[in-house]
Chain A
């Protein structure tokens, strides 16, 4: 293995290393990463595409374009070639493939096929063939995300959410985050205080990045880059994801505190049917509310109505309402109206929550910090915009 080049990428504040290694070394490095990393994009299954042709070309020892990896933690890059490979190996759990996932699958499939057919001579040739691998080493996650998107231009796009999920893998076990993020594969429900579904949090954070509460659509490269350009106006070294999650958790805890255990009455449920949420937790611990929160904060930041997440935290502490039950009924009435009058209920709910949080945290509104009034005004604004 040989480090061929070391460059500093000032745009994303990371070191870029170009490494020449054998396919054998690469396989050892990456195989477990793919196996463990369920967030990697699913492979493109099609034998007649270019990946089928690539497989044949690899047998003929073609040179493929560099595969690009990212290391999401910091290591010593000046320790020399052999030590570096060992260090990378020790940290391979933090490796993410930025570009070249399908090529990686093709390489591993080929090796597996050659082993099963016992074609030792072809196997030896392929394992000894050289491969160029670029590795970005650094702590700036959003910068790496930016680089991923620009690398993926023109190719089969990876969805923005998938890329964010990949980048924030480390947070799943990070005690500094202050909350526990639970993946679908864990088979558990996020039903305790401080527990959240990882998928829902990612959606909400993406709504913040995009300033758009609607579910993540096809990754339009230009739109994604534009979102990140906006982000570059904020300090890139801020751990925005941590800030978003922390503020959201504060909001959920505070609204539950002011509602003081209140729930919708049986009479209400009998007359109106199954509500969106019987209590504050059931209403606000949902992806629609997370997305509305993210999009609203993003928009308020863009309009300089709020400065940053720490100001949001202060506002959360000052939120109030007079009658918790009336508040729960008001917000459920609004969501019930949306259910019966929307082409896509989920989208309508997200937009409603965006209006709700904008009205709640905007000092120019009559409903500033008032939970109950914001629930009412949000529906009126939704109706004015959509009906």
Chain B
């Protein structure tokens, strides 16, 4: 659905019409409106070859323009840029030919596809000339991806991107006001944004995306962010439980009649019933994030010290101790622990894309326990 503007005759839908010297002309079948832009858009490409996703980022800067890369496959996927970049020739990419192509696609599709499900302002078309910021909030960001370089059907599975985008402070833009978003993350220093697609072994990636974009993004207090964050781990370890149970059930059936082997299998069941053990499996066997947990361990141990608890060994042990304290003893949580808890949440956001992209059922579900 296209953008809606106020006209003399009421609210009307305006679609992309043509380019002009002043920018882009949009048209409702009756009146023309110019969306001003000093950019020399490159309209040589077919916008149907691209996906557009509407995002928002708190305090996004006009110069926060990045090439988007698929980290695993080392492929360029597209560009991500604030909508304010369309109205300016003051940023670093105003004359970059690659950017100007994606800027054209972004501008065209933003007009034609925003509809009611994306937060916009009801600008007044009667002046005949508008800025992009008259329609789109300053926090609006456009993610434009080349369809051939991304998984098929991505338009219905945006959540495969969510953890990576969330790590850099980008939240999916819906009809709610983006200024309510609390998530604040600095832009990356290098000029590219690395994306790690969520692994196909993660069944509930849509729920995980919702938790990030609809809950954590809007939370101010670390305690609630941690609570929501841990729900993601609950989902993952629940998956692990089902996988392990399947494998063990098979072994149990095979061990029928053999009491020794049956006892062995039953003791393995007791292992994966333990949540702590499954957290260990998640960080150890089910993903490749183990080498990136130094900071997480450091922040968790800092907090454990404040809480008067013994420091943990591995990062996942420390993390689980924090979880237990929060869930069972929050009444005793000291004020001075808030900053540490914020650091833990921030670090989890940082490693989540790696955790989810490398999540893999070991040996295709045939784990040797």
Contacts and interface: CB of A to CB of B under 8 A. Distances in A.
Interface of A: 42, 44-49, 156-157, 159, 218, 273-274, 339-346, 349
A231 B9 CA distance: 37
Interface in B111-135: 124, 126-128, 133
Q: Which 9 A-B pairs have the closest CB atoms?
A: A345-B90, A46-B31, A345-B62, A343-B138, A346-B90, A339-B63, A340-B63, A49-B8, A46-B30
Q: Which of B59, B63, B92 has the most CB of A within 10 A?
A: B63
Q: Which of A156, A274, A345 has the most CB of B within 10 A?
A: A345
Contacts of B82: 343
Contacts of A342: 61-63
B59 A343 contact: yes
Interface in B1-50: 8-9, 30-32
9 contacts: A46-B31, A273-B92, A274-B92, A339-B63, A339-B90, A341-B61, A343-B82, A345-B88, A345-B90
Contact of A339 (B30, B31, B92, B128): B92
Interface in B63-116: 63, 82, 84, 88, 90-92
Contacts of A42: 128
Given A159-B127, A343-B84, A344-B133, 9 more contacts: A42-B128, A46-B8, A157-B127, A341-B61, A342-B62, A343-B82, A344-B62, A345-B62, A345-B91
B222 interface: no
A340 B91 CA distance: 9
Given A341-B61, A344-B62, A349 B92 contact: no
Nearest to B127: A218
Nearest to B187: A340
Contact of A344 (B59, B124, B138): B138
B60 interface: yes
Contacts of A339: 62-63, 90-92
Interface in B156-174: none
Nearest to B123: A218
Contacts, number: 53
Q: Which of A44, A46, A157, A273 has the most CB of B within 10 A?
A: A46
B20 to A, nearest CB: 11
Given A342-B62, A345-B90, A45 B31 contact: yes
A271 to B, nearest CB: 15
Contacts of B126: 44, 156
A80 to B, nearest CB: 42
Contacts of A156: 126-127
B30 A343 contact: no
A346 B89 CA distance: 9
A156 B8 CA distance: 10
B30 A345 contact: no
B23 to A, nearest CB: 14
Number of contact residues on B: which range applies? 20 to 34
B62 A343 contact: yes
A341 B60 CA distance: 9
Contacts of B9: 48-49
Contacts of B60: 343
B88 A346 contact: yes
Given A46-B30, A49-B8, A343 B61 contact: yes
Contacts of A44: 31, 126, 128
Contact of B61 (A157, A274, A340): A340
A340 B187 CA distance: 10
Contacts of B62: 339, 342-345
Given A49-B8, A156-B127, A344 B84 contact: yes
Contact of A47 (B30, B88, B124, B127): B30
Nearest to B38: A346
B366 to A, nearest CB: 51
Contacts of B88: 344-346
B293 to A, nearest CB: 31
Q: Which of A44, A45, A274, A344 has the most CB of B within 10 A?
A: A344
A273 B128 CA distance: 37
A273 B93 CA distance: 12
A273 B8 CA distance: 48
A143 to B, nearest CB: 25
Contacts of B138: 343-344
A384 B245 CA distance: 59
A7 to B, nearest CB: 32
B73 to A, nearest CB: 30
A349 B89 CA distance: 13
A219 to B, nearest CB: 9
B90 A349 contact: yes
A79 B117 CA distance: 66
A325 to B, nearest CB: 24
A345 B60 CA distance: 12
Nearest to A47: B30
Contacts of B133: 344
Contacts of B8: 46, 49
Contacts of B90: 339, 345-346, 349
Contacts of A46: 8, 30-31
Contacts of A49: 8-9
A77 B84 CA distance: 52
Contacts of B92: 273-274, 339
B360 to A, nearest CB: 39
Contacts of A343: 59-62, 82, 84, 138
Nearest to B7: A46
Contacts of B30: 46-48
B345 to A, nearest CB: 24
A96 B126 CA distance: 22
Nearest to B64: A340
A345 B62 CA distance: 6
